[in-house]
Amino acid sequence: MRLTTIGTGAAAPDPARVNAGHLVEAGGVRLLLDCGSGVVHRMAGLGLDWPGITHLALTHFHADHTSDLATLMVAWRHGQLPPRSAPLVVVGPPGTRALLDRHAAALWDKLLTPGFPVEVRELEPGGATELGDGVTLSSRKVPHTDESVAYSVERSGRRIVYTGDTAPDAALGPWAAGCDVLLAECSLPAEMAVAGHLTPESVGELAAAARPALLALTHFYPSVERVDVRALVAARFDGPVVIAHDGWSIDIEHE
Ligand SMILES: [Zn+2]
Ligand SMILES: [Zn+2]
């Protein structure tokens, strides 16, 4: 499996970090996790295989995770020759179809009939769905918005966990336990902490509970980059930590 962080920013405009979006390539599956503003153009800039995306999974419905959905669908229809014909599966928590209907009404009436098959799969938190080629996507409810979930992507005994946006949650660490990569949000410094997001301190505690082989941090507001994120995390988690940037990637080898 390969994980690429496409957009490592949050809601603040940042020339180096666009909104949330991450690509997992596993066998024949190309799974885009979230699709916030800037993600589509960033994929082109990074030379990623955006036409080859097979699945899209949304953690929640905030704009910084969803606002490039129509941009991507339009790109598949009008931004390449020939237009896309391959089916697309969109996975998300209950309410995803209604969200897509709203985007269709506001942005592009062909959003759900773009000339290729679009299957919307609403996944109950705690559920799992097969993406094909031995790839399983499972979700877990997290405290952020009513619908928010974290995702786990597994193939051949390897596992990537993505927190999406979340407040500290004592049950999330055990759920992510032993994963190969924990891709975790790290939004704000402790002095600006808000309900619904992690700080370097709380993400360090999460990692201490989950013990991932690698902790990768994302979803940065500019203010959190003014503190020593690495030291604050290291005081709580002694494993390897990456401060991801747009275009960072890692290959996870299979046995
Ligand atoms: Zn967010
Ligand atoms: Zn959010």
Query: Residue 254 has what pLDDT?
Result: 73
CB atoms within 10 A of CB 254: 11
- Cα(10) to ligand 2 centroid in Å equals 8
Torsion of CA 46, 39, 141, 173, to 10 degrees: 30
Question: How many angstroms is it from 47 CA to the middle of ligand 2?
Answer: 27
Residues 6+ apart with CB under 8 A from 4: 22, 23, 25, 46, 48, 247, 248, 249
Looking at the DSSP assignment, which residues form a beta bridge with residue 50?
Answer: none
Average model confidence (pLDDT) for the chain?
A: 97
Q: Which of 97, 94, 88 is nearest to 123 (CA)?
A: 94
- Ligand 2 centroid vs 45 CA: distance in angstroms? 25
Q: Model pTM greater than 0.85?
A: yes
3-state SS, residue 70: helix
Q: Which residues pair with 23 in a beta bridge?
A: 4, 32
Over residues 144-158, the pLDDT tens digits come to: 999 999 999 999 999
Q: Which residues of the chain have pLDDT under 50?
A: none
CA of 127 to the centre of ligand 1 (A): 22
pLDDT reported for residue 255: 55
> Which of these, 93, 42, 94, 92, lies nearest to 68 by C-alpha position?
42
Q: β-strand 128-132 against 135-141: which pairing, if any?
A: antiparallel
* Burial degree of 237 (CB within 10 A; 0-12, 13-18, 19+): buried
Ligand 2: distance of its center to the CA of 81 in Å?
Answer: 34
Distance 255 CA to ligand 2 centre (A): 35
Tell how far the Cα of 31 is from the centroid of ligand 1, in angstroms.
18
CA of 113 to the centre of ligand 2 (A): 27
Q: How many CB atoms lie within 10 A of CB 153?
A: 27
Which residues, by Cβ under 5 Å, contact ligand 1, an ion? 64, 165
Ligand number nearest CA of 145 is 2
3-state SS record for 170-207 = CCHHHHHCCCCEEEEECCCCHHHCCCCCCCHHHHHHHH
What string of DSSP letters covers 113-155?
A: -SSS-EEEEE--TT-EEEEETTEEEEEEE-SSSTT-EEEEEEE
